[in-house]
């Protein structure tokens, strides 16, 4: 390719074009020529810095304007006369002016920090529909590559995507300049990079330009050609270097390690395309579709670490090990995700949180870091800090659907239904055609015992997506709590038609719970034992653990403590899809509860001590220690000490069982007012977590009845005793408690 322009007339036109002295006809001719001539394209790029300085210097602008005003002839017809002088002025400025960054004013306080750049999807000028999503691939790769620099802050691709959709600009259509400007301002970018795909064959050619968002001026342009094999990754590597050079970043930015983009993502265009699609599907809460996309990515590149990572979060937790294995092939941002989550699995919560907190300082737009911090702080019981991270995320992106949904659950967990409904309304407005907003509404209504409303919204979710099995599971649980067994059976039958590994453990649990609600505890135990005996290889460990949790409680209720403890011992918590520390401690405090329930007080005390010794700084450890100690004291009828310990447990980590045991202790100690309302809420609340505690999900009605009767709310007490006995049926368990409930119910019914 020639390094010189074959048409010298365009060399003079460059100067005139930069100063807007060309006629429309000449300008069009120049624009076409720049696309064809690399020498002139490069020359035009080099001129822009000086021209921009002229445009920003008032004295120079005034001199040029006075010179133009001194002639009566049109400036557009005089460009040939003035070009030599203009060229001399540009050269003079290039030689004598102090060093400066294109478009930067060091006196501007907004520019005192690291430059902030937004990058839009490249427009494919050859194929408007861009069937291979090449424009999106290039922009995502460029964002990833430039984000490796410590001297440049790049707006994440997810935030760019979300902002574009929130503003209603669509995902595939070309943007108008005013739309691009609106997006850049929404994400607080100082600079905006736009680009075009000029040709794909015989080799890929792209051009780009960097604009100052405040002034709208172009501060630099780039044009890069790829190799004949169409290697988009090598092209992005070259474009990254040109962009960093043209932004006049500090010298250190040019000597920091520059890994190839293929080396920190993938070398397969198809794999990357499937990965991008999976991320978009995740944003729409289309989990099953996202799983398929990530698996397709791995079919094209079996070493793609982030595809393994995303799959480990959605469906296959054990794949986190694969992500960690290939984590040397990802960028800083993605490696942080993998290392933080892997560290959590190893039980080192403090180090993991350190990873996340450092990451949000460097990548403030990475909403997933904030979301992860919210989730983990919630699981650790740090509710205020969790709330702060979620609030910060929504300040960045008020229409982030997952965050809006989580905020609804946050308010629901604080028992503020009105605030939860505000966020549910927002979520539904953001995604009216998706199933998840309706499913979330169903779950939150279930939490507050509004089961008719819950079932209605679960059905609304299924109208929008018949394959949304989460709503079928929710519908089944609502039916169990409401004794609507026909709804439960129908939901189980529909779940049976799905081919999904997740449901291999869910369906047996629902069948067991149905038997339990019918007073057939032995059949419930037999159902779970058969399911676990026939467990297929490859089932999710979390699903197996849930079955074992439930079975352990049912065996404990039946006085079969050794068998209950054996079930807990077989839980492989190191592969469960959350922090292994969390599940290890959960196992230990359930173990302690089983020991207490069967009068094995010395063994229970030993478990409590071991819990706090093993992980002394963990909130779950505090919960486990205080819960087991409090439950033991309650069993020994030391009610005041029990209440003191259980209140510490609940303060550390609120849960159904902790709240129930505390209420029982305070009821016996007569130490607190308002217990009737607390127990009534617990009795009416219908959550999946509650079902894992075996017969306690039924026994809570008995204790609610006691508190209501003590408050002389006899009609409500009668209703709770009826629900308790209706569920307990002819079971031989807890005979004394059942007999007492029958006597109390008979007395209430016979009272005038």
pLDDT tens-digit profile of 6-33? 666 666 566 555 555 566 666 666 656 6
SS3 129: coil
Give 385's pLDDT tier (boundaries 50, 70, 90): confident
User: 269-281 pLDDT, tens per residue?
Assistant: 999 999 999 988 8
pLDDT of residue 436: 92
Q: What is the mean pLDDT of the chain?
A: 80
Q: Answer with the one of 264, 288, 316 that is the final residue of a domain.
A: 264
Structure-model confidence comparison of residues 580 and 364, the more confident one: 364
pLDDT of residue 288: 82
Structure-token pair, residue 503: 């449901």
Whether 560 and 645 share a structural domain? no
Judged against a pLDDT cut of 60, whether residue 720 lies above it is answered with yes
Percent over 70 (pLDDT), the chain: 77
Most confident stretch, 60-69, 207-216, 289-298:
289-298
| Structural domain contains residue 359 | no
Whether 194 and 70 share a structural domain? no
Judged against a pLDDT cut of 60, whether residue 87 lies above it is answered with no
| Structural domain contains residue 624 | yes
DSSP class of residue 194 equals E
Give 151's pLDDT tier (boundaries 50, 70, 90): confident
- Of the candidates 514, 518, 505, the one whose C-alpha atom is nearest the C-alpha of residue 548 is 505
Comparing 96-105, 243-252, 256-265, 584-593, which segment has the lowest mean pLDDT? Answer: 96-105
- Residues 363/333, Cβ–Cβ less than 8 Å: yes
Tell me what percent of the chain is helix, strand and coil, each rounded to the nearest 5: 70, 5, 30
Comparing 337-351, 405-419, 630-644, 706-720, which segment has the lowest mean pLDDT? Answer: 337-351
- Average pLDDT, integer, range 645-662: 86
- d(CA 268, CA 275) in angstroms, rounded, equals 11
Whether 123 and 260 share a structural domain? yes
| Structural domain contains residue 539 | yes
Q: Where does residue 168 rank: exposed (0-12), middle (13-18), buried (19+ CB within 10 A)?
A: exposed
Comparing 195-199, 412-416, 576-580, 632-636, which segment has the lowest mean pLDDT? Answer: 576-580
- Residues 195/178, Cβ–Cβ less than 8 Å: no
| Structural domain contains residue 17 | yes
Judged against a pLDDT cut of 50, whether residue 35 lies above it is answered with yes
- d(CA 155, CA 180) in angstroms, rounded, equals 14
pLDDT of residue 272: 92
Percent over 90 (pLDDT), the chain: 30
Give 620's pLDDT tier (boundaries 50, 70, 90): low
Judged against a pLDDT cut of 70, whether residue 739 lies above it is answered with yes
Judged against a pLDDT cut of 60, whether residue 54 lies above it is answered with no
Whether 146 and 243 share a structural domain? yes
Whether 589 and 553 share a structural domain? no
Q: Answer with the one of 45, 73, 96 that is the final residue of a domain.
A: 96
pLDDT of residue 316: 80
Alpha helices in 615-713 (DSSP H): 619-635, 639-652, 656-669, 675-684, 688-691, 696-710
- d(CA 501, CA 536) in angstroms, rounded, equals 9
pLDDT of residue 9: 65
- d(CA 19, CA 614) in angstroms, rounded, equals 72
Comparing 124-128, 147-151, 520-524, 537-541, which segment has the lowest mean pLDDT? Answer: 537-541
- Of the candidates 209, 276, 266, 280, the one whose C-alpha atom is nearest the C-alpha of residue 232 is 266
Count the Cβ atoms, other than its own, within 10 Å of residue 440.
27
- Average pLDDT, integer, range 340-354: 79
Structure-token pair, residue 572: 């492989």
Element (H, E) at 593: helix 580-597
Judged against a pLDDT cut of 90, whether residue 560 lies above it is answered with no
Judged against a pLDDT cut of 60, whether residue 321 lies above it is answered with yes
Phi-psi region of 285 (alpha: psi -120 to 50; beta: other; left: phi over 0): left
pLDDT of residue 389: 92
pLDDT of residue 74: 43
Q: Where does residue 175 rank: exposed (0-12), middle (13-18), buried (19+ CB within 10 A)?
A: middle
| Structural domain contains residue 209 | yes
Whether 120 and 77 share a structural domain? no
Whether 549 and 590 share a structural domain? no
- Residues 339/327, Cβ–Cβ less than 8 Å: yes
Whether 528 and 656 share a structural domain? no
Whether 163 and 216 share a structural domain? yes
Dihedral angle of Cα 19, 25, 29, 31, to the nearest 10 degrees: 50
Q: Answer with the one of 96, 124, 147 that is the final residue of a domain.
A: 96
CB neighbours of 219 closer than 8 A, spacing ≥ 6? 48, 49, 52, 102, 103, 191, 210, 211, 212, 246
pLDDT of residue 584: 61
- Which residues constitute the domain of residue 652? 578-669
- d(CA 615, CA 617) in angstroms, rounded, equals 6
Judged against a pLDDT cut of 90, whether residue 486 lies above it is answered with yes
User: 681-705 pLDDT, tens per residue?
Assistant: 999 999 887 877 888 888 999 999 9
Comparing 23-32, 124-133, 510-519, 642-651, which segment has the lowest mean pLDDT? Answer: 23-32
pLDDT of residue 117: 92
Dihedral angle of Cα 312, 317, 320, 322, to the nearest 10 degrees: -90
Whether 134 and 221 share a structural domain? yes
Judged against a pLDDT cut of 60, whether residue 576 lies above it is answered with no
Report how far apart, in Å, the C-alpha atoms of 191 and of each of 168, 209, 236, 400, 679 are. 22, 10, 19, 24, 57
pLDDT of residue 499: 62
Domains in the chain, number: 5
Comparing 335-349, 460-474, 691-705, which segment has the lowest mean pLDDT? Answer: 335-349
Structure-token pair, residue 219: 């501060």
- Residues 60/23, Cβ–Cβ less than 8 Å: no
Whether 154 and 235 share a structural domain? yes
> Please, what sign has the CA dihedral across residues 431, 436, 442, 443?
negative
Comparing 64-73, 160-169, 475-484, 543-552, which segment has the lowest mean pLDDT? Answer: 64-73
- Of the candidates 693, 665, 663, 688, the one whose C-alpha atom is nearest the C-alpha of residue 678 is 663
pLDDT of residue 76: 43
DSSP string, 395-460: HH-TT-HHHHHHHHHHHHHTT-HHHHHHHHHHHHHH-TT-SHHHHHHHHHHHHTT-HHHHHHHHHH
Comparing 368-377, 434-443, 444-453, 588-597, which segment has the lowest mean pLDDT? Answer: 588-597
Place of tokens 């609502």: 478
From the CA atom positions of the chain, what is the Rg in Å?
33
pLDDT of residue 536: 55
Judged against a pLDDT cut of 50, whether residue 674 lies above it is answered with yes
pLDDT of residue 545: 75
pLDDT of residue 394: 92
Report how far apart, in Å, the C-alpha atoms of 340 and of each of 33, 333, 348 are. 51, 11, 9
β-strand partners of 206: 197, 224
- Residues 195/138, Cβ–Cβ less than 8 Å: yes
Element (H, E) at 495: helix 485-496
- d(CA 662, CA 669) in angstroms, rounded, equals 10
DSSP class of residue 104 equals -
| Structural domain contains residue 687 | yes
pLDDT of residue 73: 41
- Count Cα neighbours of 330 within 13 Å in the Cβ-side half-sphere: 22
Cα 670 to chain center, whole Å? 44
> Cis bond leading into 598, ω under 30°?
no
- Residues 666/643, Cβ–Cβ less than 8 Å: yes
pLDDT of residue 172: 58
- d(CA 625, CA 588) in angstroms, rounded, equals 9
Judged against a pLDDT cut of 90, whether residue 356 lies above it is answered with no
pLDDT of residue 283: 75
| Structural domain contains residue 706 | yes
| Structural domain contains residue 194 | yes
Comparing 22-26, 70-74, 632-636, 663-667, which segment has the lowest mean pLDDT? Answer: 70-74
pLDDT of residue 349: 73
Count the Cβ atoms, other than its own, within 10 Å of residue 332.
16
Give 511's pLDDT tier (boundaries 50, 70, 90): very high
> Please, what sign has the CA dihedral across residues 594, 600, 603, 609?
positive
The length of the chain, given as a count of residues = 752
CATH classification at residue 561: 1.25.40
Whether 591 and 611 share a structural domain? yes
Comparing 13-17, 151-155, 610-614, 643-647, which segment has the lowest mean pLDDT? Answer: 13-17
- d(CA 190, CA 21) in angstroms, rounded, equals 28
Give 61's pLDDT tier (boundaries 50, 70, 90): very low
């Amino acid at each position: 390719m020639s390094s010189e322009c074959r048409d010298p007339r365009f060399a003079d036109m460059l100067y005139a074009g930069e100063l807007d002295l060309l006629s429309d006809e000449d300008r069009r001719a120049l624009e076409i020529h720049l696309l064809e001539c690399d020498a002139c394209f490069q020359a035009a790029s080099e001129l822009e810095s000086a021209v921009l300085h002229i445009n920003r210097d008032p004295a120079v602008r005034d001199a040029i304007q006075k010179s133009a005003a001194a002639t009566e002839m049109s400036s557009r017809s005089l460009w040939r006369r003035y070009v030599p002088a203009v060229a001399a002025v540009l050269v003079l400025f290039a030689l004598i002016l102090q060093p400066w960054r294109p478009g930067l004013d060091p006196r501007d306080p907004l520019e005192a920090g690291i430059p902030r750049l937004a990058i839009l999807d490249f427009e494919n000028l050859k194929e408007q529909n861009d069937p291979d999503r090449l424009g999106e691939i290039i922009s995502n790769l460029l964002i990833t590559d430039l984000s490796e620099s410590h001297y440049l802050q790049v707006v994440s691709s997810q935030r760019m995507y979300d902002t574009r959709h929130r503003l209603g600009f669509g995902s595939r259509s070309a943007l108008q300049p005013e739309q691009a400007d609106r997006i850049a301002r929404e994400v607080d970018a100082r600079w905006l990079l736009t680009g075009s795909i000029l040709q794909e064959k015989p080799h890929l050619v792209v051009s780009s330009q960097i604009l100052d968002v405040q002034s709208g001026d172009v501060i630099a342009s780039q044009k890069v050609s790829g190799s004949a094999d169409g290697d988009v990754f090598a092209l992005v590597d070259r474009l990254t270097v040109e962009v960093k050079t043209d932004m006049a970043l500090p010298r250190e930015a040019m000597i920091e390690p520059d890994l190839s983009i293929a080396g920190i993502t993938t070398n397969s265009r198809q794999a990357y395309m499937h990965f991008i699609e999976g991320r978009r599907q995740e944003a729409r809460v289309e989990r099953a579709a996202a799983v398929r996309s990530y698996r397709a990515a791995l079919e094209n590149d079996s070493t793609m670490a982030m595809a393994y990572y995303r799959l480990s979060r959605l469906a296959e937790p054990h794949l986190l090990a694969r992500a960690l294995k290939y984590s040397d092939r990802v960028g800083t941002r993605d490696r942080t995700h993998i290392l933080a989550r892997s560290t959590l699995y190893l039980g080192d919560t403090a180090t993991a949180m350190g990873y996340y907190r450092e990451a949000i300082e460097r990548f403030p737009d990475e909403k997933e870091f904030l979301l992860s911090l919210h989730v983990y702080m919630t699981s650790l019981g740090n509710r205020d800090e969790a709330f702060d991270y979620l609030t910060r995320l929504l300040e960045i992106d008020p229409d982030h659907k997952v965050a809006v949904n989580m905020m609804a659950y946050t308010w629901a967990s604080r028992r503020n239904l009105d605030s939860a409904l505000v966020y549910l309304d927002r979520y539904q407005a953001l995604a009216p055609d998706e199933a998840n907003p309706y499913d979330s509404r169903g779950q939150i209504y279930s939490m507050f015992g509004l089961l008719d409303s819950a079932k209605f919204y679960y059905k609304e979710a299924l109208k929008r997506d018949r394959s949304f099995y989460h709503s079928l599971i929710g519908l089944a649980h609502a039916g169990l709590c409401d004794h609507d067994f026909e709804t439960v059976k129908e939901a189980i039958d529909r779940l049976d038609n799905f081919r999904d590994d997740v449901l291999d453990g869910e369906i047996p649990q629902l069948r067991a719970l149905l038997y339990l609600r019918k007073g057939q505890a032995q059949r419930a135990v037999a159902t779970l034992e058969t399911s676990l005996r026939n467990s297929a290889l490859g089932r999710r460990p979390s699903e197996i653990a849930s079955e074992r949790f439930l079975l352990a409680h049912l065996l404990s209720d039946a006085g079969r403590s050794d068998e209950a403890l054996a079930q807990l011992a077989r839980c492989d918590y190191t592969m469960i899809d959350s922090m292994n520390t969390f599940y290890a401690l959960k196992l230990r405090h359930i173990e302690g509860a089983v020991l207490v329930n069967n009068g094995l007080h010395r063994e229970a005390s030993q478990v409590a001590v071991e819990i706090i010794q093993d992980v002394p700084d963990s909130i779950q450890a505090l919960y486990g220690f205080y819960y087991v100690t409090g439950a033991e004291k309650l069993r020994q009828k030391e009610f005041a000490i029990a209440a003191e310990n259980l209140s510490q447990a609940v303060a550390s980590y609120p849960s159904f069982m902790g709240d129930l045991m505390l209420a029982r202790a305070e009821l016996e100690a007569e130490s607190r007012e308002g217990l009737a309302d607390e127990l009534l809420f617990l009795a009416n609340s219908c959550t999946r977590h509650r079902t894992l505690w075996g017969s306690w999900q039924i026994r809570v009605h008995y204790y609610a009845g006691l508190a209501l009767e003590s408050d002389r709310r006899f009609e409500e007490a009668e209703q709770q005793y009826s629900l308790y006995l209706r569920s307990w049926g002819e079971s031989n368990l807890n005979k004394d408690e059942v007999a007492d409930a029958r006597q109390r119910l008979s007395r209430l019914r016979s009272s005038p």
